[in-house]
Amino acid sequence: MTTVHDADPPPDAGARRRPRTTTDPRRVRIGLVVAALVVAVFLVLELPAYLGLDPAQSRVPIRPDDALHYPLLWTHIVCGSVALVTACLQMWPWLRRRHPRVHRISGRVYLLGGVLPGGIAVLGVAPMSTTGFASSVGNTFLAVLWLGTSIAGWRAARQRRYADHRAWMIRSVALTFSIIVNRFWIAVYVVVLWLIDPGNPELIMDAGPASVWTSWIVNLLIAEWWLLRRRHPQRARTLPPGRAGAPEGS
């Protein structure tokens, strides 16, 4: 007796099957090298100011009226640095395929030594922001999303839902890198606001809150675009045979 599994597939099954998306390995390698170099430069420039535990060396103004401001900021900076380094390892396909144990260990370090303490510290630092209420709200949203996406990714891995795990971790890593691109957006907003009104220093102060929101929103949108692109291949690759070369509207 022929079962459903033994039956031959219909002739057009291959045409209806969605083609798998592939990523050019060269682009992946280049992207990883660039990300690693950016992280290395960022840490060399930013981290030494906090290694001496001296609040006077902080790149962020410290509130003298709150004794917890600097310890929480220090925790966020150091744990965020751990998250940045381990994020590069998590994105490395070769390491994931050839050394899954190392991938799992670095993932635990990313979550337990980076995101969880770093994100909780942000929740404590955000209300003390020296750049205003808008920055406080933006950093709070960032911390909640950073923690939420990372925990969702961990739960998906524990349940062996690896496609969901990868999607959540892509979002998490995008939020992790917001601390780096924040510097870029600050420079952009400072230049733009200065060109708008060179004689108004208050406009320049608005660059901080604007960069806080832009850094994680843009990163998250790019991550969602990347995930959507992988779920839905290019239209030309999904057209029926004989239509792949047809122009739109024909």
Type of residue numbered 215: S
Kindly state whether residue 20 falls inside one of the protein's structural domains.
no
In angstroms, how far is CA 71 from the centroid of its own chain?
24
248: in domain: no
With respect to residue 14, please indicate whether it lies within any of the assigned structural domains: no
CA distances from 194 to 92, 187, 189, 191, 202 (A): 40, 11, 8, 5, 10
In a domain, 106, yes or no: yes
Determine the structural domain holding residue 154 and report its residue range.
Answer: 27-234
Residue 65 resides in a domain: yes
Element (H, E) at 216: helix 207-231
Longest dimension (CA), the chain: 86
184 in a domain, yes or no? yes
Would residue 166 count as lying in a domain?
A: yes
Give pLDDT tens digits along the chain (250 positions): 444 344 444 444 443 444 344 566 777 788 888 989 999 999 999 999 999 899 989 888 888 888 899 999 999 999 999 999 999 999 888 888 888 899 999 999 999 999 999 999 999 999 888 778 999 999 999 999 999 999 999 999 999 999 999 999 999 999 999 999 999 999 999 888 888 887 777 777 788 899 999 999 999 999 999 999 877 655 434 444 444 443 333 3
Q: Is residue 15 part of a domain?
A: no
What is the tally of structural domains in the chain?
Answer: 1
Rounded Cα distance between 29 and 154, Å, is 25
